[in-house]
Amino acid sequence: MEICHYRGFGSDIFALRHIELLYDRNAVVSTTFSTFLSRKFRNSLAKLNSTPLWNLILQKAMFPKVEFNSSDFSFIILYTNMVLPPSGKESIMNKQKHLKLEDRIFIESLLNQQHSFKSIARQLGKDCTTISKEVKAHICFEKIGTFGRAFNDCHIAVLHQCSIQKICHHCAYSNNKSCWTCGRCTSSCISYEKYTCPELSKPPYVCNPCQKRTRCSLEKRLYKSSYAQKEYEQIRSESRSGFALSETERKQLDDVVSPLLIKGQSLHHIYVHHADELMKSERTLYAYINNGLFTARAIDMPRTVRMRPRKNVSKKLKVDKSCRIGRDFQCFENYLAEHPDAPVRQLDSVEGTKGGAVLLTIHFVEQGLQLAFLRQRNDSQSVIDIFNRLYLELRPDHFLELFPVLLADNGSEFSNPSAIELDAQGNLRTKMFYCNASAPYQKGSCENNHELIRRIIPKGTDLGQYSQEQIDLMMSHINSYSRKKLGNKSPYEIFEFQYGRKILDAFHLRKIPADEIILSPDLLK
């Protein structure tokens, strides 16, 4: 039995989509519909008793062979032969765990109509705690005043008992009005004491149903469906990537584990003697090392290296988003505003088969040049190793010139920014930032250049069959391809003009004659 709210007839009307009832085909109904429902669903269907829909349902129960069609209720009873419902606990609650946008719009509408959490939950087929948690989790704070009055949350101003004037000398109304009317007095007045509306400490915890909201100058706490949906989508997106480990925690663990591993101690030995400091399971520590979160690597554990890899690869760990604090896209834009001449390099990954080898691509935005490095696993350590190798091969001066600013997406392979930004001595060698979640257009140049890679290596192709030499050959052909936006020059030519051929040789790139360029799978066959 499924019960849902029918919005066309107000808040207390329900519609039954499916009806299953005790019925003897050749005799009178074994039990009346009302008795059956009151016995099993008394609490949830109490409000149906007084509705016209209930009478129609009851009529059908008493006369099951009479077909009833009603467009007014968008309701059709199809069963003339009803059967006993399956055994087990029946639930009339909506089994869908996540609220949708239309559910949030409905919650906001009923809150504005002064409905309780219990009433809203009953009509949505949810538990009232679900509605309560939803509202409290997505409160929108607005420091706005009301008509003719600015925002002011001083307890004296709320009572209209403040007569202080001329606190703000720059205010145009300081000579004519009390300071509380302008709302700027709170930062300078020694008598200021914040006032919080006591109604917000009890359900529904928001100002939506308050009839005094339009006359209130306090901070507004509102439930807005659009704001709640946006927050929900952001949280959902962020929860699907990264390690459940903050940057501070990672460093603390690394300081304990890595030096001892490098000395030759086993992880089990370290765990036994430092369990109180680590506060993590031994298995979790192994996962951190294998995913490149520590200075020590798997090669520092000789016995582990000799072991045959397991067939069942463990799930990717979740990364705490605190590593992206101060590195989000807004910080990126602010940094470029302060350093307008800083060149940007965009990072991304190109996958082949799921769980197989991947490519790390580095795109030079101004020159249109793109590098690609083959990685056997899509983990953070493989990315760190590539940048460490580039740092050694190019030398610090060239590296600082070529990679001053990096922009990456929110993939877990870029979840250890400090290891990329700092060299072995702790010196800053680059600045790393992240795009917003689900915003690939913020590094569109890199994404567009991937189309040329897909011409040669189609989606679903196992990248493990190629060598780095073949990948370098592919990128040589792609970077020798002329672009209209570069004035019909190739990225290779533009980069060579700015940085010289020596750097291109270090990247293992060569110029391919225009007529010999191949951008098809035949290139790597």
Give 440-508 as a 3 state SS string.
Answer: HHHHHHHHHHHHHHHHHCCCCCCHHHCCHHHHHHHHHHHHCCCEHHHCCECHHHHHHHHHCHHHHHHCC
Phi, psi of 302 (to 5 degrees): -55, -40
In the block, which residue shows the tokens 């990264």?
242
Residues 6+ apart with CB under 8 A from 144: 151, 220
* pLDDT band for position 80 (cuts 50, 70, 90): very low
Indicate the residue type of 349.
S
In the sheet with 358-364, reading across from the earlier edge strand, the strands are: 369-375, 358-364, 344-351, 405-408, 431-434
Residues 6+ apart with CB under 8 A from 222: 139, 140, 142, 206, 207, 208
Residues 6+ apart with CB under 8 A from 154: 162, 180, 185, 186, 189, 191, 192, 193, 194, 195
CA 394 to chain centre: 36
Indicate the residue type of 193.
E
Residue 411 pLDDT: 84
Taking each helix axis as running N to C, give the angle between helix 101-112 and helix 117-124, from 0 to 180 degrees, rounded to the nearest 10.
140
* pLDDT band for position 300 (cuts 50, 70, 90): confident
Residue 178 pLDDT: 61
Q: Tell me 412's DSSP state.
A: G
368, 374, 378, 381: CA torsion to nearest 10:
-100
Q: Does the model's pTM come out above 0.85?
A: no
Q: Burial-class residue 10 by CB neighbours within 10 Å (0-12, 13-18, 19+).
A: exposed
CB 452 within 8 A of CB 372: no
CB 453 within 8 A of CB 446: no
CB 502 within 8 A of CB 371: no
Whole-number Å distance between alpha carbons of 19 and 80: 10
Query: Smallest Cα–Cα separation from 241: which of 436, 416, 412?
Result: 412
Residues 6+ apart with CB under 8 A from 122: 44, 47, 128
CB 368 within 8 A of CB 473: no
Residue 77 pLDDT: 33
Whole-number Å distance between alpha carbons of 403 and 383: 14
Q: Is the pLDDT of residue 353 over 70?
A: yes
In the block, which residue shows the tokens 């719009």?
105
CB count in 10 Å sphere of residue 237: 13
**Among the listed ranges 19-23, 238-242, 515-519, which one has the minimum average pLDDT value?**
19-23
Whole-number Å distance between alpha carbons of 396 and 441: 31
CB 414 within 8 A of CB 347: yes
For the chain, percent helix, then strand, then coil, each to nearest 5?
45, 10, 45
Which tens digit of pLDDT belongs to each residue from 167-208? 665 555 545 566 656 666 666 676 777 777 888 888 899 999
CB 374 within 8 A of CB 359: yes
CATH 3.30.420.10 residue spans of the chain = 329-524
Q: Is the pLDDT of residue 89 over 80?
A: no
Whole-number Å distance between alpha carbons of 48 and 190: 58
Distance set, CA 308 to CA 9, 305, 311, 312 (Å):
66, 8, 9, 12
CB 144 within 8 A of CB 218: no
* pLDDT band for position 25 (cuts 50, 70, 90): very low
Q: Which helix (H) or strand (E) holds 285?
A: helix 282-290
Query: Smallest Cα–Cα separation from 411: which of 324, 314, 296, 286?
Result: 324
The CATH superfamily label for domain 329-524 reads: Ribonuclease H-like superfamily/Ribonuclease H (3.30.420.10)
Q: Based on C-alpha coordinates, what's the Rg of the chain? A: 33
Indicate the residue type of 68.
F
CB 19 within 8 A of CB 1: yes
Whole-number Å distance between alpha carbons of 11 and 210: 20
Distance set, CA 459 to CA 122, 441, 525 (Å):
48, 20, 16
Residue 34 pLDDT: 45
**Among the listed ranges 42-46, 186-190, 297-301, 444-448, which one has the minimum average pLDDT value?**
42-46
**Among the listed ranges 188-197, 372-381, 490-499, which one has the minimum average pLDDT value?**
188-197
Mean pLDDT of 438-456: 89
What is the greatest pairwise CA distance in the chain? 96
Mean pLDDT of 209-224: 85
Mean pLDDT value across the chain: 76
Residue 500 pLDDT: 92
Q: Is the pLDDT of residue 214 over 70?
A: yes
Question: What percentage of the chain reaches a pLDDT higher than 70?
Answer: 69
Q: Is the pLDDT of residue 466 over 70?
A: yes
Mean pLDDT of 29-46: 44
Residue 381 pLDDT: 85
Pairing of strands 139-142, 344-351: unpaired
Which tens digit of pLDDT belongs to each residue from 242-289? 556 677 788 888 889 988 888 888 888 888 888 878 888 888 888 888
